[in-house]
């Protein structure tokens, strides 16, 4: 993925300037988060290019004197869990063209933050700060929203054995970041793609003819792969257990049926509740003894956690 096109922008990037390389500090923080610095750089470069649309930040160019430098804080406008600080740093770093923006985190991803709390201090060319502002905040607000919602679910099942797990219901292109945000909120990740684990769903059962036939087909083709079976009834749970399933997904089960499935499994397989889950009934579902609650809403419906950039007055 390439960066902005070959025109000078308000951040001082020359026409033929190479895409800036991240500082080792930012790259180290991304790697520590389980994120690929090259992939994040490509994503953020594309987002900045989208905002510039091949042109320039006309408002900033008109209002900010050339060469002006300043400081700013990224501030939480509401309480929640922060996620994506090194991603936001990447935006400010790249927007300066040569890494002239210094980023100093005031919080760490996974921290609970209060409204009015500064999470990132910035110093550098004002043009770069303002041009990168929306790209950085879009990513930070979204990822922090995912982390905040995840933490609410995690808190709701505290004291039980159940853990909150995400799904593949992610924004195209943002899966790695959104699943990282789930981890920041205390949740755990399901498979990252279709190839790192198998999940036999109803359509696979229909195609194969039965749960046991689908199970046998997957085991034959990928014998070492983790294998989960979606079940709609207790009879299917019994069939999946007999086949040797490692993990069973209980799809839209009533509370009483979940409890019956836990008794039936008797520890032979992990159980995951899915479908129709709400935050208000999370504790009741967890109390049945299931091992996971699969919550697609963590990534497809999380409201953004509001952050803003406050430029400090000169002097």
138-193 residue pLDDT tens: 999 999 999 999 999 999 999 999 999 999 999 999 999 999 999 999 999 999 99
Under DSSP, is residue 126 helix (H, G, I), strand (E, B) or coil?
helix
Q: Which domains does the chain have, with CATH numbers?
A: 24-144 (3.90.1170.20), 154-300 (3.20.20.70)
**CA 26-39-70 angle, 5° bins:** 40
Pairing of strands 112-113, 80-81: antiparallel
The C-alpha atoms of residue 275 and residue 283 are separated, in whole angstroms, by 15
Q: Which pLDDT score, from 0 to 100, does residue 20 have?
A: 58
Q: List residues with catalytic annotation.
A: 134, 169, 201, 230, 251
Give this prediction's pTM: 0.91
The C-alpha atoms of residue 98 and residue 287 are separated, in whole angstroms, by 53
Q: How confident is the model at residue 18 (pLDDT cuts 50, 70, 90)?
A: low
Give whole-number Cα distances, 63 to 10, 35, 55, 87, in Å. 11, 36, 17, 27
Helices (H), the chain: 24-32, 37-52, 58-63, 85-95, 126-156, 175-184, 202-208, 211-221, 234-243, 255-265, 282-286, 297-300
Name the more confident of 6 and 183. 183
Assess whether pLDDT exceeds 70 at residue 16. no
Looking at every residue in the chain, the average pLDDT score rounds to: 92
Q: Which pLDDT score, from 0 to 100, does residue 78 have?
A: 98
Q: Which pLDDT score, from 0 to 100, does residue 29 have?
A: 94
The C-alpha atoms of residue 1 and residue 262 are separated, in whole angstroms, by 47
| 232-278 tens-digit pLDDT | 999 999 999 999 998 999 999 999 999 999 999 999 999 999 998 99
The C-alpha atoms of residue 254 and residue 284 are separated, in whole angstroms, by 11
Q: How confident is the model at residue 97 (pLDDT cuts 50, 70, 90)?
A: confident
Q: Which of 205, 266, 263 is nearest to 232 (CA)?
A: 205
Question: Which residues pair with residue 123 across a beta bridge?
Answer: 71, 102
Residue with tokens 């190479």: 18
Report CA torsion sign: 185, 186, 187, 193. Answer: positive
Q: How confident is the model at residue 19 (pLDDT cuts 50, 70, 90)?
A: low
């Amino acid at each position: 993925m390439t960066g902005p096109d070959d025109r000078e922008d308000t951040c001082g990037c020359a026409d033929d300037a190479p895409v800036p390389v991240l500082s080792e500090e930012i790259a180290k923080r991304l790697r520590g988060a389980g994120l690929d610095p090259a992939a994040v750089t490509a994503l953020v470069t594309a987002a900045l290019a989208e905002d510039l649309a091949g042109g320039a930040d006309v408002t900033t160019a008109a209002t900010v004197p050339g060469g002006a430098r300043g400081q700013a804080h990224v501030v939480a406008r509401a309480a929640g869990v922060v996620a994506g600080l090194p991603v936001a740093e990447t935006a400010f770093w790249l927007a300066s063209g040569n890494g002239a923006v210094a980023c100093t985190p005031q919080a760490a991803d996974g921290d609970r933050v209060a409204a009015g709390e500064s999470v990132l201090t910035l110093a550098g060319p004002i043009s770069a700060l303002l041009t990168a502002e929306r790209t950085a905040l879009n990513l930070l607000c979204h990822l922090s929203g995912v982390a905040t919602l995840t933490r609410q679910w995690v808190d709701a099942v505290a004291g039980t054995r159940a853990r909150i797990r995400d799904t593949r219901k992610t924004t195209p292109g943002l899966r790695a970041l959104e699943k990282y945000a789930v981890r920041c909120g205390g949740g755990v990740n399901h498979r990252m793609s279709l190839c790192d684990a198998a999940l036999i769903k109803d359509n696979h059962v229909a195609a194969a003819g039965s749960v046991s036939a689908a199970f046998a087909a997957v085991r034959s083709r990928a014998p070492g792969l983790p294998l989960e079976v979606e079940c709609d009834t207790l009879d299917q749970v019994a069939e999946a257990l007999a086949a040797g399933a490692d993990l069973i997904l209980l799809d839209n089960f009533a509370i009483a049926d979940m409890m019956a499935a836990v008794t039936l499994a008797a520890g032979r397989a992990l159980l995951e509740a899915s479908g129709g889950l709400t935050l208000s009934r999370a504790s009741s579902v967890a109390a049945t003894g299931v091992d996971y609650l699969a919550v697609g809403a963590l990534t497809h419906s999380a409201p953004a956690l509001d952050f803003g950039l406050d430029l400090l007055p000169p002097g």
